[in-house]
Amino acid sequence: MADAIGDAILAALDDSSRRFVFPSEVAARDRLERSLERSGRKALPLERFISWDAFKALAFPGPSQGRPASSALRSVFARALMEENAGKPFLNALVPRSKAAASPRFARMVAKALPALRDLDGLRLLSPLLRDWQAIRERYAAFLSERALFEPGWNDRTALALSGSYTLFYPDLTTDWTDYEQAVRAMPNAALILAGEERTRYPAAAFATIVDEVRAVLIGLQKAITEGIDPARILISVAAPESVLPILEREAAVAGVSLDMREARPLSESAGGRLLADLLRLAQSQRSFSAMRSLLLDRSRPWKEGLNPRALIDLGIRKHVLAALPTIDIWEASMGAKDDEERKLYRGLRSASERIAEAAGFGQLRSAFDAFRRAFLDEAGWTLAQNDEIARCIRELEALEEASKAAGLGRIQGAAAAYLEELEELRYLPVSEAGGVQVYRFPVAAGCMPAVHFVLNLSEGAAQAASRPLSFLRDDERERLGARDRDLSSGLIALLVRSGERVVLSYSEDGPDGIRAAHQAIDPQSPKSAGLADDRDAWLPNADCLAPSGTAALRQAAVFPIQSSSARAALATVLPPRAAMHGSSGGSDARSYSEGSPERARLLGSALRERVAAAQSTDGALTISDTLIEELESCAFKRLFYRYLKLRPVDTGLSFVDALMTGSIYHNALESLFRPLAEAGLSIVCGESANGGEEGAGASGEARRPDTAELAAALDEAIALQERVHGPFAGMLLRTSRPAFLRDLERALDALLPKLDTHVPIIVEKPNLSAALPERDAMLVGRMDLVCAPRQGAGREPGRGAVIIDFKKRSLPKLKELAPDEDGRLGRYQMPAYAYLLKASGYEPEAAYYLSIEGPSGGGKRLVCAFGDEPKAAVPLEALPALLTALESAAARAAGRLRRGEVYLPREDDQERICADCDYRPLCRAHYTVH
Ligand code: SF4
């Protein structure tokens, strides 16, 4: 590519009085380096290669006896001004007088607009909004002149008589060129090289998606490096980097390409900014759990030794610290006698964050922030980059402190919030620690001359650059005043086309934010004709292309040599040998447990198998419950990790009053209600419905037993028990829900008691029962919620018949799960297991019911009869023997699987149903595997 800029520089290099001016600092630095290379000189003065901004500072320096206003000063001024407007309104349209109290919220907008208020010159101030801005401008001008300050953007546009001579490259591609054009053109010693009107369309590689585009660029980049081009001489420019950089970073990391992102980020996202924001949010939210979690679980923070931030979060989770309460400090109220360390940490954070939030000036804020860091953080533990970021944040805080002194401002309410706003405005580019291919935001690198320059994402919306006069006004105001945007993007793309020995432009139709049009200055073409191969197969090695001799493998090895051999090595160790994967039982040494299916299970190693069997045995016999049977019928992999390895996800979030807690309340309340009857041998009396239902008096004519008053007391006792375990916040929430709990329990009893009239409770939650199984060395175990026996004749002794009740919070089993399928298998083994246990204890099961306390979702009856004499029973009583046979077979299957140490996932057809809400997905990876 011809290099007109380079040639012009070279031709004038011997004239030591000539300086070269470029649109950006990046281009100026790059051109200095290229000029050294091309001229063969050892050194050149830095000040001969300057940016447009540096040139303006030389030619238009402002009043000689003043100091330029800083961004901190603008911020401080705007805040004070808008606070003044809140107290004594002088603005009418920018902030309507009726809303003047909200003025401080506009401070940031005003601070940003101040440098551009010079554009008001010469305008007829007809609208109230323009008059408001003029009023702000006048106050700002008075403020500056009282303090011998000046606003650089307002400087006189008469250029100084500079010594030497200047060549300005493409100044018309800068946003404020028109402001200075007349003065610069009048300078006798300034030569201009202008872009002018640009109408050419340049070939650009077009891709379907941004991911394809990024990958093609990375492949092109790898090829360039393989050809021997120094990575330091390759540049990437990205239009709208906010949405593309995450994709570029991710793909480059996968491809092992090192990038050096030269994209400044707001200081508020730096280590110091985030820390301050978290502390402020902690105080403002009155120490909400989520604010506490953001502060304490940010693992980049070096907490002092001896502090245990995780313990405080765990306490919040255990005690359900869901929200701040107006009357009590819920964290304090949730701590017990053993929580001294957590209490100390909590109190320290509370007072430190409040000091920061309440600081009434930047000086006070600085001391509060420093005190927090000294008390809680091990400053030696910050990384170099974090240290840099914090130092920069502190410098900005000092600048604000100085500015507020210069402005003569006393107390500044909300200093921390103002500081944080300032950090959001300031951008910070860290010194790059490692080398890598430099990546710039479009169009910063326009004018550079690398060996290869990739320019990505040239869509209409992304590649934007324009000069916007009166940008502080609303669009309708701008239009009325005839303000016209001056588009610079086509000229910048034309300059980028000349900014490299080889330049590749590219665009994708489906970008990060959806389908978009190509920029008008490009001509989308096939990647190949635009100089970029669309070689998808050359993207990283995958399992199908790892055969060493395949053509795809050879291409990949050429482009990604390290990744190719690493992937081959990794696959050899990660995946088991093919024979082991597809053998009928897998062999005891095949450890890829998630490869197993119910028909082709993987096997535990002998040591692990024995430990599992031991954990599942009592006195040498395997203990089998309906839960074990059902878990093994669905996913043995999950059971292995959950029951035996006890591997559980770590909670970092809060649960509200969850189903488990509510279910416990119902169980405890019903236990308290029925146990006294069991102990006294008293029968249940259906009696009058608590809700005015139709049941009427019981057969005996006695009053209802247990009665509603007893239910209320039993519920209160159950809530108190949960509060002791889960803390005061949970107790408070449960009491709020008490009327609903009571209503549901009463309705559930209304549905249940008619089935139990004259029956005596014989089992209420206890005891656990066990029974020998035909399977050798195996016994069935189980615990029932409620079992009642009909009273025998007129005596008090219960008979041997048994009605089984199982309480469910809401959902009930489906009838088809309760009846044997064509293979004689069941979806639920719970009731047959209970019937089996009761028979072994000398009872004759007569019926079994599931009772939904809250009523099944979607409506319907609260009771489901699993077996019995009822017409709607899932299984008639006479078919009970078939259920018991199905149970014995399932227990034998479960025992066999346990003894063999089988591990497997559900069949694929069953996974949607079984795997819903399972926490073990990242382990089994059943839902991530591409077959
Ligand atoms: S997600 Fe499915 S296959 Fe994986 S462990 Fe859970 S239940 Fe088993």
Average pLDDT over residues 390-401: 94
Calculate mean pLDDT across residues 362-374. 95
Q: Report, as an integer, the average pLDDT of 732-743.
A: 94
- Going from the Cα of 645 to the center of ligand 1, the distance in angstroms, rounded, reads 15
Q: Is the per-residue pLDDT at 86 higher than 80?
A: yes
Q: Of all atoms in ligand 1, which is nearest to the CA of residue 638?
A: 5
Q: What is the pLDDT of residue 462?
A: 95
pLDDT tops 90 at residue 857? no
Beta carbons of 766 and 782 less than 8 angstroms apart:
no
Mean pLDDT of all residues in 428-453: 90
Cα separation, 545 vs 537, in Å, equals: 9
- Regarding whether 407 and 353 lie in a shared domain, the answer is yes
Write down the mean pLDDT value for the chain. 89
How far apart CA 282 and CA 274 sit, in angstroms, is 12
β-strands 778-782, 844-852 pairing:
unpaired
* 201-223 pLDDT tens trace: 999 999 999 999 999 999 999 88
Q: Which residues of 621-659 are buried (b: 16+ CB within 10 A; e: fewer)?
A: bbbbbbebbbbbbbbbbbbbbbeeeeeeeeeeebeebee
The distance of Cα 439 from the centroid of its chain, to the nearest Å, equals: 26
- Do 665 and 728 lie in one domain? The reply is yes
Q: What band does 589 get if pLDDT is binned at 50, 70 and 90?
A: very low
Distance 639 CA to ligand 1 centre (A): 9
Least confident of 29-33, 435-439, 713-717, 751-755: 435-439
923 Cα–ligand 1 center, Å: 8
Residue 728 lies in a domain: yes
State residue 432 phi and psi, 5-degree precision.
-75, 135
CA-based max dimension of the chain:
124
Give per-residue pLDDT as tens, 546-566.
555 666 666 667 777 777 777
pLDDT of res. 553: 67
Ligand 1 pocket: which of 915, 917, 923, 927 to mutate (most atoms <8 Å of CB)?
Answer: 915
pLDDT at residue 217 in the model:
95
Q: Are residues 662 and 684 in the same domain?
A: yes
Query: How far apart (Å, rounded) are the C-alpha atoms in residues 388 and 377?
Result: 16
In short, whether 637's Cβ falls inside 6 Å of ligand 1 is: yes
CA neighbor of 462 nearest in space, from 505, 518, 500: 518
Q: Do 132 and 230 lie in a common domain?
A: no
**pLDDT tens, position by position, 904-924:** 999 989 998 899 889 898 888
Structure tokens at 307: 């502090």
Res 650: pLDDT: 81
Q: DSSP string spanning 254-314?
A: HHT--EEE---EEGGGSHHHHHHHHHHHHHHTTS-HHHHHHHHS-TTS-BPTT--HHHHHH
At position 519, the amino acid (one-letter code) is H
* 924 CB within 6 A, ligand 1: yes
Q: Is the CB of 117 under 6 A from ligand 1?
A: no
Final residue in a domain of this structure, among 193, 212, 243: 193
| Among 702, 736, 770, residue at a domain's last position | 736
Q: How far is the CA of 635 from the centre of ligand 1 (A)?
A: 6
Least confident window among 63-77, 599-613, 615-629: 63-77
Q: Are 442 and 455 in contact (CB under 8 A)?
A: yes
Verify whether ligand 1 is closer than 6 Å to residue 904 (CB atom).
Answer: no
**What pLDDT, on a 0 to 100 scale, did the predictor assign at position 577?**
54
Any idea which of 234-248, 297-311, 584-598 has the lowest mean pLDDT? 584-598
CA of 913 to the centre of ligand 1 (A): 10
DSSP 155: S
Residue 682 within a domain: yes
Give pLDDT tens digits for 2-44: 899 999 999 999 999 999 999 999 999 999 999 999 999 999 9
Tokens linked to 88: 């004594």
Mean pLDDT, range 641-651, rounded to an integer: 88
* 199: helix, strand or coil: coil
Q: Is pLDDT above 90 for 429?
A: no
Residue 427, ligand 1, Cβ within 6 A: no
Q: Are 300 and 410 contained in the same domain?
A: yes
Determine contact, residues 782/835, Cβ cutoff 8 Å. no
Question: What torsion, rounded to 10 degrees, do the Cα atoms 695, 696, 699, 702 define?
Answer: 130
Q: Which of 482, 444, 450 is nearest to 465 (CA)?
A: 444
Tell which residue, 365, 357, 352, has the closest CA to residue 398.
365
pLDDT, residue 696, reads 43
Q: Long-range contacts made by residues 26-31, C-beta under 8 angstroms, separation at least 24?
A: 26/262, 26/440, 26/444, 26/445, 26/448, 27/51, 27/169, 27/444, 27/445, 27/446, 27/447, 27/448, 27/499, 28/54, 30/445, 30/447, 30/448, 30/449, 30/450, 31/5, 31/6, 31/447, 31/448, 31/449
What atom of ligand 1 comes closest to residue 634's alpha carbon?
A: 7
- Is residue 926 within 6 Å of ligand 1 at its C-beta? yes
817, part of any domain: no
The atom number, within ligand 1, closest to the CA of 911 reads: 2
Residue 381 DSSP label: G
Q: How far apart are alpha carbons 788 and 646 in whole angstroms? A: 36
C-alpha triplet 65, 71, 74: angle, nearest 5°? 80
67-68 vs 202-209, strand pairing mode: unpaired
Q: Which of 17-21, 569-573, 793-797 bottoms out in mean pLDDT, i.e. has the lowest? A: 793-797
pLDDT reported for residue 585: 44
Same domain, 227 and 183: no
Here the tokens at position 815 are: 């009838």
Number of domains in the chain: 7
pLDDT of residue 543 exceeding 70, the answer is no
- 78 lies in the same domain as 222: no
Q: How far apart are CA 322 and CA 653, in angstroms?
A: 10
- Confidence band, pLDDT 50/70/90 cuts, at residue 590: very low
Tell me, yes or no, whether 763 lies in a domain: no
Residue 381 and residue 272 share a domain: yes
Q: Are 346 and 353 in contact (CB under 8 A)?
A: no
Give 858 or 368, the one with higher predicted confidence.
368
Ligand 1 centroid from CA 592, angstroms: 14
Q: Closest ligand 1 atom, CA of 905?
A: 3
Residue 28 in domain: yes
Q: Specify if 475 maps to a domain.
A: yes
Which pLDDT score, from 0 to 100, does residue 582 have?
Answer: 42
**E strand residue ranges, 65-121:** 67-68
Report pLDDT for 460.
95
**Based on C-alpha coordinates, what's the Rg of the chain?**
38
Cα(900) to ligand 1 centroid in Å equals: 20
Given a cut of 50, whether residue 159 has pLDDT beyond it is yes
Q: pLDDT tens, 660-703? A: 899 999 999 999 999 999 999 999 998 765 555 444 444 555 78
| Ligand 1 midpoint to CA 820 (Å) | 25
Percentage of the chain modeled with pLDDT above 70:
93
Q: What share of the chain is helix, strand, coil (3-state, %, to 5)?
A: 50, 15, 35
790 found inside a domain: no
Residue 395 tokens, joined: 């410098």
- The Cα–Cα gap between 848 and 802 comes to 9
Note whether 149 and 281 are same-domain residues: no
- Considering the domain architecture, whether residues 724 and 625 belong to the same structural domain is answered as no
Structural element, H or E, at residue 709: helix 708-726
Three-class DSSP category at 239: coil
Beta strand ranges found along 396-436 (DSSP E)? 427-428
Mapped onto helix, strand or coil, the DSSP state of residue 726 is helix
What are the two backbone dihedrals, phi and then psi, of residue 193, each rounded to the nearest 5 degrees?
Answer: -115, 110
Q: Which among 594, 635, 640, 910 is the best mutation to test ligand 1's pocket, defined by most ligand atoms within 8 Å of the CB?
A: 635
Q: Give the closest residue (by CA) to ligand 1 atom 5.
A: 638
Residue in 643, 918, 928, 929 to alter for ligand 1 test, most ligand atoms within 8 A of Cβ: 918
Determine, yes or no, domain membership for 813: no
Query: What is the CA 597 to chain-centroid distance, rounded?
Result: 34
pLDDT of 544 reads 55
Q: Which domain holds residue 316?
A: 266-428
Going from the Cα of 634 to the center of ligand 1, the distance in angstroms, rounded, reads 9
Cα-to-centroid distance, 582 and ligand 1 (Å): 20
Among protein residues, the one with the nearest Cα to ligand 1's atom 7 is 915
921 lines ligand 1 (CB under 6 A): yes
**Banded model confidence at residue 574, pLDDT cuts 50, 70, 90:** low
280 plus 146 within the same structural domain: no
624 lies in the same domain as 670: no
Is residue 403 lining ligand 1, measured as CB closer than 6 Å? Answer: no
- Choosing from 736, 764, 792, the residue where a domain stops is 736
Least confident residue range of 100-109, 483-492, 622-631, 796-805: 796-805
Q: Residue 28, Cα to own-chain centre: how many angstroms?
A: 40
